[in-house]
Amino acid sequence: MLKIFDEIQKNLLNTLFPVFCNGCNKLLLKNENVICTKCLHHLPLTHHHTIKNTEIDQTFYGLVPFEFGAAILYFNKKGISQNLIHNLKYRNRQEIGTYLGDLYAKELSNIETIKTIDYIIPVPLHQKRFHERGYNQVITFCKSIEKNLTIPMLDDVLVKTQHLKSVTDKSKEGRLAHNKNVFSIENQHKIEGKHILLVDDVFTTGATIESCAKEILKIKNTKISILTMAYSKL
């Protein structure tokens, strides 16, 4: 009887407050969550966790030593992945981060390198940007990975010290110059000798990840792995 009542209540809520797919904006069916079944089946997955020489490996070869690197999705303009990231980043659809984290944690759980990670560290926002937006778009994603893989998250180590305008030079060199001396480390004792999973939303040129990774690697005996929600093919 209680189950029937819950079903009636859920159907009523769906009628009064319809929920739409974050990938295509179509109405979600009662058994769908965050994205519709069609979008789920058409997610542009990278399968980076199964590939030895990924785009991330190629980008950072000889520049940043890291243990593991992967993005979940390819960032396709005007596609499902762009809609997901846009809704998460600018429309406060935090459930998208949780959804993607839950989805990918199952794949990560079988990777030996991931089992050696001590902490998850999200790429931070500057305090001013955080107060403007009200949230860091990668936090719910990190918390999902934290919960599923029982790896604690640290958000008081990597800090963004400068609030900069959006970069106009889209080249990696331009982005690196833009990010120079922007990040710093606090509470460095927490990560000495630790393996860190550095997490961001979109990997474009890799400049932000590179800047953050180099700061973390200044700390004695640290190691880095990299995870992003999407990889953008420029």
Tell me: the pLDDT tens digits for 102-129? 999 999 999 999 999 999 999 999 989 8
Which pLDDT score is estimated for 176?
59
- In the block, residue with structure tokens 């180590």: 157
- In the block, residue with structure tokens 């959804």: 99
Closest to 142 (Cα-Cα) out of 114, 116, 117, 122: 122
Start-end ranges of CATH 3.40.50.2020 in the chain? Answer: 43-232
pLDDT at 206 over 80: yes
d(CA 217, CA 223): 7
Which pLDDT score is estimated for 13?
53
pLDDT at 1 over 70: no
Average pLDDT over residues 200-215: 95
d(CA 146, CA 121): 10
pLDDT at 92 over 60: yes
Closest to 101 (Cα-Cα) out of 70, 38, 143: 143
Tens-place pLDDT, residues 63-87: 999 999 999 999 999 999 999 999 9
pLDDT tier for residue 162 given thresholds of 50, 70 and 90: confident
Pull the structure tokens for residue 47: 């399968």
pLDDT at 170 over 80: no
Which pLDDT score is estimated for 132?
87
Second-level CATH architecture of 43-232: 3-Layer(aba) Sandwich (3.40)
d(CA 234, CA 232): 6
d(CA 83, CA 75): 9
Closest to 63 (Cα-Cα) out of 179, 158, 172: 172
pTM: 0.87
DSSP classification of residue 107: H
